[in-house]
Structure 1
Amino acid sequence: MAQPAMPRGNSRKIPKTHTAYCAIHPRASFPMSAMPASKPSDKAARRHPAATPADPPPMNTSTTRRAIRQISKQCAAALAPHGFKLQSPHLHRLMPDGLYHAINFQSSQWGDRHEGRFTINLIVTSQWLHTHWTNLPFPKNPGSAPWPILRRLGQQLPAGNDKWWDVNADTNLDALFTEISRALIKHALPFFAQYPDSQAILDRVRTGGFVHSASDAQRPLIAAILLVEKRQPEAAREILLNALKENAGSPFAKTINLIASRLGIKLQAPA
């Protein structure tokens, strides 16, 4: 999938997880721009020794990244009683059956060192779901695995809009943290409560219940992946066969066969 052109000086390599995700999710709109910063080299560390509160920040650290780092750390403390922990720059909690609830801080690819913006994504995923959909290892940071359920925090707010927060050198980050932490507690926690475990997702996709960000075509694939995890391969095969019949002659049939092969299920193409 072609990536949007970026201004000179801001190009970056797209992570493999995002590439694989977009390959079978053509309407994907989740640029993985909030990936954890890589560990600085020794040379970089010597160039920018550990700063004291009186020192200016290193010149290669943008205002947006500093804001995300501070606010995510503060949010982790506020959400710790609810089981969330920080894996910078994101937050996540692991549910008993292996499902993850994650809070992803996504910076905009536009902006500069002095000002920018970021948004917050709510993610429900698991190693099993992610691996069998993308055929890639589960990311070390669960907050960077945006499948199968992805929702903007702004869409959970009363206005229901895709909300981005602007930051610059004059932004009051403590006030911004207060706003965001309240929104997470009031609106993100009830969102996650709809998906307490993988069985809740399976029940929804099998009974026609609403699943955030999952298309009608994806629902049987999600169901099949979860059924195999629950040691019900025959039920998964039946669902995939029905999906294959409904998508006969469609390019999506290749995706169905691809997922089936990853699950170890053999399908026969409809006549």
Structure 2
Amino acid sequence: MYHYVGKTALITGASSGIGEVFARALAKRGMNLILVARTESKLRALAQELGSQYRVNVEVLSIDLGNPGAAQSVRQTTRDAGWRVDLLVNNAGFSTLGAFETIPPELEQQCVMVNIAALLDLTHAYIPDMLEQGEGAIINMASVLSFVGGGRQATYAATKAFVFSLSQALWSDYRKRGIRVFALCPGPVATGFFEVMGADAKLNFMGLMDKPERVVKVGLKAFEKGKPYKLVGWFTKATALSTRILPRTLMSRVVHFMTVFIYKPNGKRR
């Protein structure tokens, strides 16, 4: 089990989608929150709502994790304010989309900065504190694409493979030192992420779209049991299993075909 009451969670990408659902779920469990995202107005509205509803302390940090040094700034702010972080939820992330040569390189760099560099820097920043405290926990948002290269989402899929691999290594390194590390691996989730890409209707039709509330509920249940990761949804489980049975080249072709059929490339960051 994991005891939430009175502890503090820092959640990135907390202004919407899965990050917002994490904030609601953890506040309901009695955790104080530090909400991190780019849109301050959304964060403050959510902070006021959750603080009033669940009688927990909710702090807000408006910052773009795609900027160099952003993670260090978050760490310095929490240190200066005396905020202890018991649970780090690395949820912030976004995807580029389209044929690789058509995507602006600077947008790909932003994807890497948010999905990998910021997650890595925040993890480095808070693990020493957790070791000193004698306990701590980290939840990293991975993906079904952690297991197979995503056609027309090459960089995003690569970042999620990094997140999953890192999470498993840290779980092994720290599980006997008081720190839980957990990777949550959903498939497509109805958060607006796929609506921007013009894919939500097709994914719903194919029965692949999951609800963020279910993803977080299933994820937290597995996290509480001390599991290293959780595959959410039949599509994610089937994909992960297929990579053990079928040639990776075949799986990459299948994912490429599905992506071309489902998505409308736009190359925009949400």
Q: TM-score range by the shorter chain?
A: under 0.3
Bigger relative contact order (CA 8 A; separation at least 6): 2
Structure having the higher helix fraction is 2
Structure possessing the higher radius of gyration over alpha carbons? 1
TM-score (norm 1): 0.26
